[in-house]
């Protein structure tokens, strides 16, 4: 067997995509307070929405990118604040008054971990780490489980109104928590490096830490606030220091980095806003109704942004298509002179193996494309003799996301999908 081992440093090329930015109202007339998806780059994954009190104390699920929704759980009046997903496929929901909901079958059934387990403190955020860690923020402290939610203990931040919680995508032992309070007690952002056992002092004091998100493309942590003048802050050193990039025109409650480029979306009073310059400036993104959660997803290679809103007329989930991944797949799937195998493993991190078979000598190209169809790197550009070949594709430094590789002899081509997940 002929073997080619190649390790590349990859550079992403920027590209533009023209779209109408037209929002579509889905799940009409419902008060939506939370949105979640196990993996934003999982093109077939379900999306979950949680409702706000009363008759909207429900959980909905969409299997088609937010176009339609099914009610999968009816609660007893408490708000569904947040979603968390662990590595085994369990779904967790922070249910404000009732406790923590857990499903082991993708939301078909839920069990209730009662609020008494959390010392009668109301759950407001949930996130999952590695090795069975589940983190829950409450109205007066932080709790963690090390056994997939079977037991919980209060570990830190007691007395503080803990709201958003996220786990660092590269270092799963690092946990970030935002604290928000009308009275201003302890407001800001806190960081743990030991899986939520202990936390640092307040690293971004004086601002209601209402929303946190991590930009996996650039390893940046973003924080939005409901405190005037509504700063947009970012950290480039894993939450140790923070920089105010600019202000937004109103209080914001949700933040989500784009999956397509370096854009950032926020949701709050006044609607959905977008920044294309790292948070220095935000402009309304053609949706002016007040919103709370915002989520960027890839569904079936269509990049979408979803926002949740409340109200009998304007409430529900609003969706717009940010980009459609250009078709470098499915080109001339019948090629007599060569065969191209699916890379393994896929998804991969940090490396994967691509194998192909040449049955006729000639000039061949093996090219990697980004999600919008732009050439990222040409891995093979040679005259090849009949035989079996393999290329080790090393993705150190490659942002998470969907990529494609295509083998062509100039007439026929075969393409397959790569999925890099950190």
Class of domain 338-420: mainly beta
Q: What six digits make up the tokens of 144? A: 């963690």
How many angstroms separate the Cα of 186 from the Cα of each of 118, 355, 404?
A: 20, 55, 46
State whether the Cα torsion 55-60-65-68 is positive or negative: negative
| SS3 state at 54 | helix
| Domain 31-324 falls under CATH 2.130.10.10 | yes
Question: Where are the CATH 2.60.40.1930 domain residues in the chain?
Answer: 338-420
Residues 6+ apart with CB under 8 A from 266: 211, 224, 232, 248, 252, 254, 255, 256, 272, 273, 274, 275, 282, 294
pLDDT confidence of residue 21 = 58
- Between CA 141 and CA 80 the distance in angstroms is 18
Q: What is the pTM of this model?
A: 0.78
Question: Where are the CATH 2.130.10.10 domain residues in the chain?
Answer: 31-324
pLDDT confidence of residue 217 = 65
- What secondary structure does DSSP assign to 213-241, as a single string? EEETTTTEEEEE-SSTTTEEEEESSTTSS
pLDDT confidence of residue 300 = 81
pLDDT confidence of residue 105 = 96
Name the CA radius of gyration of the chain, rounded. Answer: 23
Task: Determine whether 7 is exposed, middle or buried from the number of CB atoms within 10 Å of its CB (0-12, 13-18, 19+).
Answer: exposed
**Running DSSP on this structure, what letter comes out for residue 121?**
P
pLDDT confidence of residue 10 = 34
CB contact burial 332-367 (16+ within 10 A = b; e otherwise): eeebeebebeebeeebbeeebebbbbbeeeeebebb
- Alpha carbon 244 to its chain's center: 23
- Ranges of residues in the chain whose predicted pLDDT is under 70: 1-21, 41, 217, 325-336, 372, 422
N-to-C CA span, the chain: 31
- Report which of 302, 313, 248 is spatially closest to residue 275, judged by C-alpha positions: 248
């Amino acid at each position: 067997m002929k073997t080619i081992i190649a390790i590349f440093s990859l550079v992403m090329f920027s590209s533009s995509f023209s779209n109408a930015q037209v929002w579509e109202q889905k799940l009409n007339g419902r008060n939506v307070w939370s949105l979640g998806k196990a993996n934003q780059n999982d093109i077939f994954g379900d999306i979950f929405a949680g409702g706000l009190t009363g008759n909207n104390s429900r959980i909905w699920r969409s299997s088609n990118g937010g176009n339609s929704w099914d009610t999968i759980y009816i609660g007893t009046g408490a708000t569904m604040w947040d979603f968390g997903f662990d590595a085994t496929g369990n779904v967790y929901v922070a249910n404000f008054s009732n406790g923590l909901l857990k499903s082991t079958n993708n939301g078909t059934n839920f069990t209730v971990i009662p609020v008494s387990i959390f010392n009668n403190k109301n759950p407001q955020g949930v996130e999952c780490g590695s090795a069975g860690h589940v983190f829950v923020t409450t109205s007066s402290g932080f709790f963690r489980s090390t056994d997939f939610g079977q037991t919980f203990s209060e570990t830190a931040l007691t007395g503080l109104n803990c709201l958003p919680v996220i786990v660092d995508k590269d270092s799963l032992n690092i946990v970030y928590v935002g604290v928000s309070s009308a009275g201003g007690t302890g407001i800001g952002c806190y960081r743990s490096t030991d899986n939520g056992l202990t936390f640092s002092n307040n690293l971004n004091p004086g601002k209601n830490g209402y929303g946190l998100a991590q930009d996996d493309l650039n390893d940046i942590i973003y924080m939005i606030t409901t405190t005037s003048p509504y700063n947009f802050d970012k950290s480039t050193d894993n939450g140790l220091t923070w920089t105010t990039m600019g202000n937004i025109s109103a209080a914001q409650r949700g933040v989500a980095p784009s999956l397509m480029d370096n854009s950032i979306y926020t949701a709050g009073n006044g609607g959905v806003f977008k920044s294309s310059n790292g948070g220095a400036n935000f402009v309304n993104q053609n949706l002016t109704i007040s919103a709370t959660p915002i989520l960027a997803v890839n569904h079936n290679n269509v990049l979408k942004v979803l926002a949740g809103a409340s109200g009998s007329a304007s409430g529900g989930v609003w969706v717009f298509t940010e980009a459609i991944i250009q078709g470098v797949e499915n080109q001339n799937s019948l090629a007599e002179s060569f065969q191209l195998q699916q890379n393994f493993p896929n998804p991969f991190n940090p490396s994967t193996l691509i194998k192909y078979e040449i049955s006729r000598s000639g000039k061949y190209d093996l090219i990697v494309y980004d999600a919008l169809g732009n050439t990222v790197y040409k891995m093979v550009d040679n005259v090849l003799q009949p035989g079996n070949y393999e290329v080790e594709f090393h993705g150190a430094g490659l942002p998470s996301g969907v990529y494609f590789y295509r083998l062509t002899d100039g007439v026929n081509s075969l393409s397959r999908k790569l999925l890099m997940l950190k």
